Structure 1
Amino acid sequence: MGGLGGLVDGNSRVYGIIADPIAQVRAPEAMNEIIAARKSHAVFVPFHVHADDLPVFVAGLKAWRNLPGFTLTVPHKEAARFQCDRVGPMATITGSVNVVRKSSDGAWEGETYDGLGFVSGLKSQAIDPAGACIYVQGAGGAASAIVAALAEAGAARIAVANRSQLRATTLIDRLETVYPGCCVIAGPSDLVAADIVINTTSVGLNVNDPLPIDASALHSRQIVAEVIMRPDTTALLDEAQARGCRIHQGIHMLSGQVREIANFLGI
């Protein structure tokens, strides 16, 4: 009775994902599979919303009585924090939100499962970040959640690189209060020394994008991971594989978090 393949009628609940661009997202397929498996009377759809339009769009969703919640991805995760009336512990640490639900009093409650889902995806592929030296490219919403979850999982050292060092410093300062001494600004040697290299940026979504990191520094003892889910294998992963690295695709992050998000939303 649930999902796009089942009955959608006047009693159906509507969930969705807000993104820009939207074509690359895989959450609708994954969530509708869960809806069907759980026989929930619901449907999960894509919402293509530009960054400037997010506040008015989210305000409108609060009036949508049969919409219990929604998810978000690039570029909305940090801005969505300010559209929430309350946020959970991970969202408080990271300053970003990727899922929002409507509470019984009508308030928006936000949380982020990006980091927890990413770590779950690593572990599902027998990759344990505990004790590892990790290089993270990016300091946005996804990076914040992933770095926090990696620190929680026991990573020994997390070096953060970003085009804007101020953003990286802000992220590290925020996490220092919870995970002291774990996160640092990436230096020239951190990419080479890393056990795990992670691209948390959207660079690689488009075929003509440059590589987000200097691939010449990669070597065969490393694991190189992506958060991008489409294409399945980005140019960075192709280059890493050619250099003998083990690669970890973005789809594992989705599979790692989708069930927890479904539970949070009450699907």
Structure 2
Amino acid sequence: MTTITGHTRVYGILADPIHHVKTPQVFHALARDEGIDAILVPFHARPEGVARLMDGLRAAENFGGFIATVPHKTTMLNLCDTVTEEAAQVGAVNCVRREADGRMVGAMLDGIGFVEGLRGAGIAPEGMRSYVAGAGGAASAVAFALAGAGVKSLTVTNRTRSKAEALCTRIAQTYPNLTLSTDPLDLAEQDLIMNATSLGMKPDDAMPLDTSQLHTGQVVAEAIMDPEMTPLLKAAKAAGCRIHTGLPMLQNQIRLMAQHMGAL
């Protein structure tokens, strides 16, 4: 894309806040490489206004769909007209296609993006003892994807423990043979540790997990893309861990998002 014209297809990303998102840059690089006449626009949508925004987007005939990120992934499940089986299983939506009649079709692609990002970096999750901090939309998608990738065990933690327990209950229904836990004290026993919370986006955020348990031999990964080096990743690097930033997760799902929205 070099010029926006009346033929340009419009897509969006909905978030609150919006300043940290990297999706427009990654999408536009894909559009350039594929020769797609499309643009992806950031929309700063607060939770109380996102339903009204979606009503407006339904009426925009040249609008193809949008990506949903924090804090809209779980609420988007009930705002879409229909969702994919994976999105229903996870309980969240991060990519929405606008059909020609204005209906919104939601999908969840965070999990596969994270797992493929790991594999692209030479990290095979199969057989790993894994730990996910968080129980929201992104965390749920990552947890299900790790379970599907064949991890040895999965620990899910959350500030509200009942949410972590509920997520583990859902995972157990699909993967009944997987060892599941919600105990944050077994962090030192893990091979792969993933922060799927928003803690780390702001300088004064608390750590999402107990960094004193980190040690050499562990892989510590982030969902956050800005800042690239969160306090967690800095602490993990200092502890001798291998670190995995948040950008590969987006880079590996952007093509799937473009396909779901009909851009490819």
1:167 to 159, 163, 166: 163
Contact 1:28/1:44 (8 A) holds in 2 = yes
Aligned match for 1:101, one of 89, 97, 103: 97
- Secondary structure in structure 2 of the residue aligned to 1:211: coil
Which stretches of structure 1, 4 residues or longer, exceed 4 Å deviation after superposition? none
Moved more, 255-264 or 184-193: 184-193
- Alignment-derived partner of residue 244 in structure 1: 240
Matches within 5 A, 1:9-158: 9-158=5-154
Q: Measure how far apart 1:183 and its partner are.
A: 5.5
Cα contact 2:157–2:184 (8 A) shared by 1: no
Give the match for residue 202 of structure 1: 198
Contact residue 115 and residue 145 of structure 1 kept, 8 A: yes
Query: How well do the aligned residues superpose, as a CA RMSD in angstroms?
Result: 1.2
Task: Please state whether the residue corresponding to 1:53 is helix, strand or coil.
Answer: helix
1:237–1:16 Cα change, 3 Å? same
Pair 1:213 & 2:209 matched: yes
Q: Does residue 222 of structure 2 align to residue 226 of structure 1?
A: yes
Secondary structure of 1:78's counterpart equals coil
Structure 2, unpaired ranges of 5+:
none
Which of residues 259, 264, 267 is equivalent to 2:255?
Answer: 259
Alpha-carbon offset, residue 90 of structure 1: 1.4
- Say if 2:194 and 2:221, in contact at 8 Å, map to a contact too: yes
User: How far apart are 1:89 and its partner, in Å?
Assistant: 2.0
Q: What is the alpha-carbon distance in structure 2 between the residues aligned to residue 225 and residue 59 of structure 1?
A: 36
- Cα distance in 1 for partners of 2:241, 2:247 equals 18
Instruction: Give the C-alpha shift of residue 189 in structure 1.
Output: 4.1
On the 8 A contact 1:135/1:186 being kept in 2, the answer is no
SS in structure 2 at match of 1:68? strand
Q: Is residue 2:228 matched to residue 1:235?
A: no
Structure 1 residue 137: Cα displacement: 0.5
Q: Secondary structure, in 3 states, of the residue corresponding to 1:29?
A: helix
- Structure 1 unaligned regions, length at least 5: none
Is the contact between residue 13 and residue 42 of structure 1 (CA under 8 Å) also seen in structure 2?
yes
AA in 1 matched with 2:247: I
Name the CA distance, whole Å, in 2 between partners of 1:259 and 1:22: 21
Identity of aligned residues (%): 42
1:181, distance to aligned residue in structure 2 (A): 3.8
Deviations for 1:144-176, whole angstroms, at most 9, x for unmatched residues?
Answer: 100011111111111000001111122112222
Deviations 1:186-206 (A, max 9, x none): 225420110001100000001
Q: 1:177 aligns to what SS in structure 2?
A: helix
Are 1:91 and 1:97, in contact at CA under 8 Å, matched by a contact in 2? yes
Q: How many aligned positions are there?
A: 263
